[in-house]
Structure formats: structure tokens, C-alpha cells
Chains A and B, each alone.
Chain A
């Protein structure tokens, strides 16, 4: 069976690729496009390490077919910093050491960015519910939640 030709946008750049009909977006990103920032933790939508946005909607790239990217706009962790300038969440995660092994971090950052774009002033509960699909096996949740809340506060001040 011939591969499918897909035209999409990834991190603001027009992109074309060929994919197998059953290939997941995560496998395509990592294996074909070399965008290895999105991680595979579980491959079944439980852990959130592969989080991306699809037309600004937070999704697990392991639960999406690459073929579904046709005509859509995808954002991955590779597009979060502007060149050398880190996104405020990335900067705050470094400052507050909101990561340990780092495997969950790209997914957490993508998810947290998606939250703050919708809700610039979340409560701690709202952060915890929003990030409930991002598992950290180092169990560093407290620092993650604090860093998201701190970033939100700083972004509101500078807005």
C-alpha cells in the first residue's frame, strides 16, 4: 500500500510528509521528522508525555494518526522557545527545578502553555486537574504545579 501524502503546519512552518495509514503522529514526529522532544511514555494516552496541540487543542500525539494532520496546525515542544529565548514556563521550570528526569517535561510544558492560554489565572486545583493527564514518574508534581502558578502570576504582571 502506498504511503499517504500529508500537508500540514508544524510549529508555524508548512510541512509535507509521507506516512503509513496506521502510523501515529508521535511516531511520525520522532521517527520521520526527527522531532524527538515529544516522548513516548505509554503509547496509550495515559501519561501525556507525547502532548502536542492540534489546531490549538491539547492532544496526545500517540492517540492521533499522522494522516489526521492533513490541513491542520500542530505545535510541539520544539516550537515553544523563540530561538534562544525560552518561553516563560520553560524559564520558570529551570529556575524552580520543576523537573527531575525530564521525560515528562515536554508534555507538561505543552499542557501548561495550553492551560495558561485559556486561563491566565488558574487556581492550584485548576492546574492539577488540567495536568492530571501528565504523569511524572519522579512524582515531582508539587514543583511543577508551583512553577506553573508562578509563571502565570508573572505573565499576568507583565501583560
Chain B
């Protein structure tokens, strides 16, 4: 690691230029809570570290003109929690982000890093998918926007092409009667990696679900958007049959591994259970808006 370089560019253009020129030898540094651990373990040996936290677009939260939110990819969980309105509008997304690590980790770790780290168990990802968040990506060929669920490609991999940097998340405006929730299962009470994670976002009109999205984590090589579960909820009044159908869709979407945290059978069962519980919380929140 003697020839490693550190850059802290002030502009996105400069960051993209350096990242593309490094041709795969560079790593983006946001909060560093994954990257520095990987460097210490020897699993990451970057020739260049590009710290994106001097770029204001990467570190700011803005409310968009239409009532949505734009969250810079390097905004820490602690900064998201301190925003006066974000957690009121998107409590499920916020609780998912804030579940990641300790207070110290929250001071640095970002939703952008969590997504780009590519872990199937990243807590913020199912909630962002449920929220319908779209990411803005900038690369040598300009900007593009894709939904969050299109970013993960497999454990530790994303669909970002060489030189591309995740810039921000855009969350849509929230119709009246909307709520979201994220729940995860871990073998201890706090500070662990999800065995299963479920994010649910829905909108109710006179008790009927008019819109829903479901994100499912830690049970497949990537976090999943489960359209079948959302479709089972949409049009229902969240009666037992509809919620059970949504839970069945989640179970059917699972392609988990056996590991020390949970077996295949257990993860599949819990995916359905968490779908039901997260749906109930999201509906309760929707009713209070």
C-alpha cells in the first residue's frame, strides 16, 4: 500500500475524471465503514482513494419542489436522523438506515455506501426499494437515473459501469395516507447483520391500498423488489387473505443460503412473518397521516 493516493475533489466532474482514469484501481470513500475495514483485512487494496465528502451534492439533503427528497449518497445516518422532516415522511427508510451499526458508525455510514457495498443484507436497501427511490449516477458519459433495485448485481457487485459514481437518492413525493416500515430479523437484539429484512411502503384511501411496494433483503444474492407481494396488497383492505398472499409472494421470492445466522427454511418462513408485521406498521402509519 505504499503507492496509494488520496484525493478529496471539490467537484463531481473532478471525482468522475479521477475515478475513470484510475481504471478500476480506485475506490470511492464515503463514510469508510466498509472500505476501511476491507482495506485492513486486505480484501480491498485500492491504488487511489477518492473521498467524495467535499462535494456538496454528495453530503446534502434537499426537499424537492414536488415534495420529495434528494439525499446525497454520502449523507450519514446521523445527519438523516437529525433532518427535521425526513423521518416524519419516510420513517421506514430512516429506521432502516439507523439500524446500521453503532452510534459511531451512524456518524459516518451512508445509504450510498450501503447500496454500493453490494451486501444482500444491507439494511437500507429494502426500505429504499420499497420507497421507490431512484438513484442518480454520474460517469464519464454523463448522468443517468435508475431505480435502487437496479443497482445490486450480486454479493459485493453493482451494475455501475467503470468510472460511474452514485451521487444521490431521490425519494418521490408522498401522497396523503402513506406509510412505510422496515423490519429485520437478527439473532441478537441490536448491532448485527440481517437474517431477513423487509421494507414495505403503501398508500391507503378509505382503507383500501392504492399503492404498495415491497423490498426483501438477505434472502437472495441481491436485495429484491417483490412485485407479487405488492400486487397482493394493492386493491385490498389488508384483510388476512391479502396479507397472507403477500407473505406467500415474499416466501416464493426467497433464494437464501444456509449460514451461521439462519437456515434456508428459517429465512423463508421469517420473510413471510416480517412482511405481515411490516405491513401492519406501514398501514398504521398511513392511517395517522
Contacts and interface: CB of A to CB of B under 8 A. Distances in A.
A1 B103 CA distance: 35
Interface string A56-88: 011110111101101000000000000000000
Nearest to A130: B103
Interface of B: 1-6, 8, 29, 31-33, 36-37, 39-41, 49, 51, 53, 76, 78, 101-105, 107-108, 190-191
Interface stretch (A10-18, A31-39, A43-51): A43-51
Interface of A: 1, 4, 20-22, 24, 43-45, 48, 51, 54, 57-60, 62-65, 67-68, 70, 111, 114-115, 129-134
Contact of B36 (A4, A64, A129): A64
A111 B104 CA distance: 8
A60 B53 contact: no
Contact of A22 (B4, B33, B191): B4
Question: Which 3 A-B residue pairs are closest in the complex by CB-CB distance?
Answer: A133-B102, A21-B6, A57-B107
SS of A interface (majority):
mixed
A62 B36 contact: yes
Nearest to B5: A21
A129 B191 CA distance: 10
Given A64-B32, A133-B104, 20 more contacts: A1-B5, A20-B4, A21-B5, A21-B49, A22-B39, A22-B49, A24-B36, A43-B40, A44-B37, A48-B102, A54-B107, A57-B76, A57-B107, A59-B104, A65-B6, A65-B29, A68-B8, A68-B51, A132-B191, A133-B105
Given A22-B49, A67-B8, A132-B190, A1 B104 contact: no
A124 to B, nearest CB: 15
Contacts of A62: 36
A51 B108 CA distance: 12
Among A59, A68, A129, the most chain B Cβ lie within 10 Å of the Cβ of A59
Contacts of A57: 76, 78, 107
A1 B102 contact: no
A132 B102 contact: yes
A57 B81 CA distance: 13
A70 B4 CA distance: 18
A30 B8 CA distance: 24
Nearest to B78: A57
Contacts of A48: 102, 104
A23 B40 CA distance: 10
A24 B108 CA distance: 14
Contacts of A134: 102
Contact of A133 (B2, B4, B191): B191
Given A1-B2, A45-B37, A65-B32, A58 B103 contact: yes
A24 B104 CA distance: 15
Contacts of B49: 21-22, 65
Nearest to A48: B104
Contacts of B2: 1
